[in-house]
A and B are shown apart, each in its own frame.
Chain A
Amino acid sequence: MDLTGTAGDPASRIHRLDPRAKIIALLGITVVAVSTPLEHWPVYVACAAALAACAALARVRPADIGRRVRIVLPLVLLTAVLLPLARSDGLAIFAEVAAKALIGTTSAALLAATTPFTAVLRGLEALRVPRLLVQIAAFMYRYLFVIAAELGRMRSALLARGYRPRHPFHAAPAGRVASALFLRTYGRGERVYQAMLARGYRGTMPYATPLAFGRADALFVAAVVLAVVPVRFVA
């Protein structure tokens, strides 16, 4: 599962930045792009250039970005592709949606490529995203594989006993698998919580090293803002 890991040079300046700096800067690029109408298209170019510069500094290859973007982008673009057929100005709308989607997903892919997932979570927590949401995301990440394996085993058990869905009425066992999976994960949640309590958990996740937002981080955020925001007002 190298899609969940980082890419590029782990020792690069971008990789070593505080996760908060990267979240703010890359989210900033996305917000600027999304809020820009097509007439101001040079903003898209500025956003793309900023992203390309970040990727180059981090030595993340275009192929690495491409692999990550490929998962999300088709879904977004699928809806946009139909637009030119439905409306006369559809082509322009398509171009706008496509540019925004591309910049947004590339920003997210770049964040994921330069920041380990746990660091992103810590950054979000430090940026005052509700702790509960952050912890839910952390546990989802940790247990995704466990639950996927569990689902795989249940599926095999169905198939092993000749389950072959041929029409919608045959979907009932799949529904039962879903509810069984829910109950199992619920049970697991209880046990994990007990295991946490057993090791002294008192409601907050302890961290060994505090995050440090330094000069390099401030400079990075400022550079990205300067590269993108003025264009928005000039163009």
Chain B
Amino acid sequence: MSCAVDVRALEYRYPDGQQALRGVDLHVTHGERVALLGPNGAGKTTLMLHLNGLMRGAGSVEVAGLAVGRDSLHELRMRVGLVFQDPDDQLFMPTVEEDVAFGPLNMGLDRDAVAERVDEALAAVRMRHVAGRAPYQLSMGERRRVAIATALAMRPAVLVLDEPSANLDPRARRELLEVLARIDRTMLVTTHDLPLAAELCERAVILAAGRVVGDGPCDEILADAELLAAHDLELPAGFDLDRIERRAPA
């Protein structure tokens, strides 16, 4: 069986000469939820953008059996649901409904199929009631959930989220976590929020200075205080990993 995500020896250097990725290997199997951890500037977002060909470095990237290449870009983007960190970047249409429909329409689906996808995706993030509203009328948490719906509407093989809990108050974060936990899909979650990773993901990968420096079951990675400290990561004070219960998809 093919991997959901198969990255081999990926290297990327920004035009200004900064080396962002230095030979990243990452293999994610279907249905797995992987937390991608690492300090700022570790290359997490760069790696994410490689997954659907928005950036192209040296090495190979394969998603759901499809290699990233010039000819496969459109097909690839249908398979990878990318959720950007700032929902205002992701939600560019005048209404929520139109925004969620943007991806399915680009897939060439007909009107009924698009309407069904929009409804299904908004229901999955519990945001059906805001379909007709404009993104700027929503709270940060609501916008984040709608942004996830815009990716889900394409029924991607892999859902990739960049810092999904950034700038959320505790209640919005809790709601987001509940929404994400119910989504039954291969997931790659970039985050600094280690408790979120612990609750959501069974596996964690640490990326530092463009390399994978840790990869294993989430509990073990997060319990390794030395490894975390070496890469500027830390659990909140007084946090007890043993009391965390992982949420399985519904």
Contacts and interface: CB of A to CB of B under 8 A. Distances in A.
Contacts of B78: 200
B69 interface: no
B93 interface: yes
A188 B102 contact: no
B123 interface: no
B95 to A, nearest CB: 8
Contacts of B92: 139, 142-143, 192, 195-196
A191 B136 contact: no
A202 interface: yes
Size bin of chain B's contact surface: 20 to 34
Interface string A171-211: 00000000000000000100110111111111000111100
Contacts of B74: 200, 202
B120 interface: no
B200 to A, nearest CB: 22
Interface in B99-121: 101-103, 105-107, 111, 114-115
Interface string A40-58: 0000000000000000000
Contact of A198 (B52, B88, B115, B135): B52
Contact of B102 (A118, A206, A209): A206
Given A118-B98, A194-B49, A208-B115, A200 B136 contact: no
Contacts of A220: none
A207 to B, nearest CB: 7
Contact of A202 (B89, B106, B136): B106
Contact of A146 (B49, B94, B136): B136
Contact of A138 (B52, B94, B111, B135): B94
A208 B102 CA distance: 9
Interface in A108-146: 117-118, 138-139, 141-143, 145-146
Given A117-B94, A138-B94, A208-B115, A191 B102 contact: no
A202 B105 CA distance: 11
B16 to A, nearest CB: 15
A149 to B, nearest CB: 8
Interface in A199-229: 199-202, 206-209
B218 interface: no
Contacts of B115: 208
A185 B52 CA distance: 24
Contacts of B107: 200
A159 B114 CA distance: 48
28 contacts: A117-B94, A118-B95, A118-B98, A139-B92, A142-B92, A142-B135, A143-B92, A188-B88, A194-B49, A194-B84, A195-B84, A195-B89, A195-B90, A196-B92, A196-B102, A197-B77, A198-B80, A198-B84, A199-B82, A199-B103, A199-B154, A200-B78, A201-B106, A202-B106, A206-B106, A207-B105, A208-B105, A209-B111
Interface of A: 117-118, 138-139, 141-143, 145-146, 188, 191-192, 194-202, 206-209
Interface of B: 49, 52, 54, 74, 77-78, 80, 82, 84, 86, 88-90, 92-95, 98, 101-103, 105-107, 111, 114-115, 135-136, 150-151, 154
For the complex of A and B, list the 7 residue pairs with the smallest distance between their C-beta atoms, beginning with the closest: A206-B105, A200-B106, A199-B103, A191-B89, A198-B82, A145-B136, A195-B90
